[in-house]
Amino acid sequence: MKDCLFCKIARGEVKSETVYSDELVIAFNDINPQAPVHILIVPKEHIEGVTTLEEKHKNIIGHILLVAKRLAGEKSISEDGFRVLVNSGSNAGQVVEHLHFHLLGGDRLKPI
Protein backbone atom coordinates (compact mmCIF):
# COMPACT_ATOMS: atom_id res chain seq x y z
CA MET A 1 0.00 0.00 0.00
CA LYS A 2 1.69 3.12 -1.29
CA ASP A 3 0.43 5.72 1.18
CA CYS A 4 0.03 3.58 4.29
CA LEU A 5 2.21 4.87 7.16
CA PHE A 6 3.09 1.45 8.58
CA CYS A 7 3.83 0.05 5.10
CA LYS A 8 6.22 2.98 4.67
CA ILE A 9 7.85 2.20 8.03
CA ALA A 10 8.10 -1.49 7.03
CA ARG A 11 9.81 -0.47 3.76
CA GLY A 12 12.16 1.92 5.60
CA GLU A 13 10.71 4.97 3.84
CA VAL A 14 9.62 6.49 7.15
CA LYS A 15 12.08 6.34 10.05
CA SER A 16 11.24 4.44 13.21
CA GLU A 17 13.07 3.22 16.29
CA THR A 18 13.09 -0.38 15.20
CA VAL A 19 13.55 -2.93 17.97
CA TYR A 20 12.95 -6.11 15.95
CA SER A 21 12.53 -7.11 12.33
CA ASP A 22 12.27 -10.38 10.42
CA GLU A 23 10.76 -11.49 7.12
CA LEU A 24 7.20 -11.25 8.47
CA VAL A 25 7.07 -8.43 10.99
CA ILE A 26 8.66 -5.20 12.15
CA ALA A 27 8.47 -3.87 15.72
CA PHE A 28 9.26 -0.30 16.68
CA ASN A 29 8.77 2.14 19.55
CA ASP A 30 5.46 4.02 19.54
CA ILE A 31 6.00 7.71 18.76
CA ASN A 32 3.61 8.68 21.59
CA PRO A 33 4.29 6.10 24.31
CA GLN A 34 1.53 5.36 26.83
CA ALA A 35 3.88 3.36 29.09
CA PRO A 36 7.64 3.13 29.68
CA VAL A 37 7.71 0.30 27.14
CA HIS A 38 5.32 0.85 24.23
CA ILE A 39 6.19 -1.10 21.12
CA LEU A 40 4.08 -1.63 18.00
CA ILE A 41 4.39 -5.04 16.34
CA VAL A 42 3.30 -4.83 12.72
CA PRO A 43 3.02 -7.39 9.91
CA LYS A 44 5.06 -6.32 6.89
CA GLU A 45 2.13 -7.38 4.72
CA HIS A 46 -0.61 -4.75 4.59
CA ILE A 47 -3.57 -6.08 6.58
CA GLU A 48 -6.08 -3.38 7.49
CA GLY A 49 -7.13 -4.77 10.83
CA VAL A 50 -8.83 -7.56 12.73
CA THR A 51 -11.98 -7.26 10.61
CA THR A 52 -10.11 -8.12 7.42
CA LEU A 53 -8.21 -11.11 8.84
CA GLU A 54 -8.49 -14.33 6.85
CA GLU A 55 -7.57 -17.97 7.46
CA LYS A 56 -4.27 -17.40 5.66
CA HIS A 57 -3.25 -14.89 8.35
CA LYS A 58 -3.30 -17.45 11.20
CA ASN A 59 0.45 -17.95 11.03
CA ILE A 60 1.33 -14.25 11.17
CA ILE A 61 -0.94 -13.63 14.17
CA GLY A 62 0.68 -16.46 16.10
CA HIS A 63 4.08 -15.19 15.06
CA ILE A 64 3.28 -11.67 16.28
CA LEU A 65 2.39 -13.00 19.75
CA LEU A 66 5.64 -14.95 19.89
CA VAL A 67 7.53 -11.76 18.95
CA ALA A 68 5.62 -9.95 21.74
CA LYS A 69 6.76 -12.63 24.20
CA ARG A 70 10.34 -12.31 22.99
CA LEU A 71 10.37 -8.50 23.21
CA ALA A 72 8.78 -8.57 26.67
CA GLY A 73 11.66 -10.78 27.75
CA GLU A 74 14.26 -8.54 26.14
CA LYS A 75 12.73 -5.44 27.75
CA SER A 76 12.56 -7.23 31.14
CA ILE A 77 8.83 -6.67 31.57
CA SER A 78 7.76 -10.33 31.52
CA GLU A 79 7.95 -10.92 35.26
CA ASP A 80 6.06 -7.80 36.37
CA GLY A 81 3.53 -8.11 33.58
CA PHE A 82 2.59 -6.45 30.36
CA ARG A 83 -0.32 -5.98 27.98
CA VAL A 84 -0.74 -6.86 24.31
CA LEU A 85 -3.70 -5.21 22.60
CA VAL A 86 -5.20 -4.43 19.25
CA ASN A 87 -7.62 -1.60 18.56
CA SER A 88 -10.21 -2.26 15.87
CA GLY A 89 -12.24 0.54 14.35
CA SER A 90 -13.15 4.01 15.50
CA ASN A 91 -14.87 3.15 18.81
CA ALA A 92 -11.67 1.45 19.96
CA GLY A 93 -9.54 4.33 18.73
CA GLN A 94 -7.79 2.65 15.79
CA VAL A 95 -6.17 5.49 13.86
CA VAL A 96 -3.69 3.65 11.63
CA GLU A 97 -5.48 1.27 9.27
CA HIS A 98 -2.70 -1.29 9.15
CA LEU A 99 -2.95 -4.07 11.75
CA HIS A 100 -0.69 -3.49 14.73
CA PHE A 101 -0.33 -5.02 18.16
CA HIS A 102 0.58 -2.70 21.05
CA LEU A 103 3.02 -4.15 23.62
CA LEU A 104 2.80 -2.08 26.81
CA GLY A 105 4.63 -2.47 30.10
CA GLY A 106 7.25 -1.19 32.50
CA ASP A 107 4.74 0.27 34.95
CA ARG A 108 1.36 -0.50 36.51
CA LEU A 109 -1.19 -0.21 33.67
CA LYS A 110 -4.68 1.13 34.15
CA PRO A 111 -7.21 -1.72 34.26
CA ILE A 112 -9.36 -2.02 31.14
Q: 38 an active-site residue?
A: no
Nearest approach in angstroms of CB 97 to ligand 5GP is 8
d(CA 37, CA 54): 30
Stretch that binds ligand 5GP, among 19-27, 53-61, 68-76, 93-101 (CB under 6 A): 93-101
d(CA 100, CA 49): 8
Question: In the set 2, 3, 23, 31, which binds ligand 5GP (CB under 6 A)?
Answer: 31
Question: In the set 90, 93, 110, 112, which binds ligand 5GP (CB under 6 A)?
Answer: 93
Nearest partner of 67 among 100, 35, 94, 90, judged by Cα: 100
Residue among 7 and 109 whose Cβ is closer to Zn ion: 7
Burial 21-42 (b: 16+ CB within 10 A, else e): beeebbbbebeeeebebbbbbb
For residue 3, what are the contacts with CB-CB under 8 A and spacing of at least 6?
none
- Residue 16 in the binding site for ligand 5GP (CB under 6 A): yes
- Interacting residues with ligand 5GP (CB under 6 A): 5, 16, 28-32, 40, 87, 93-96
List, by residue number, the catalytic residues. 100
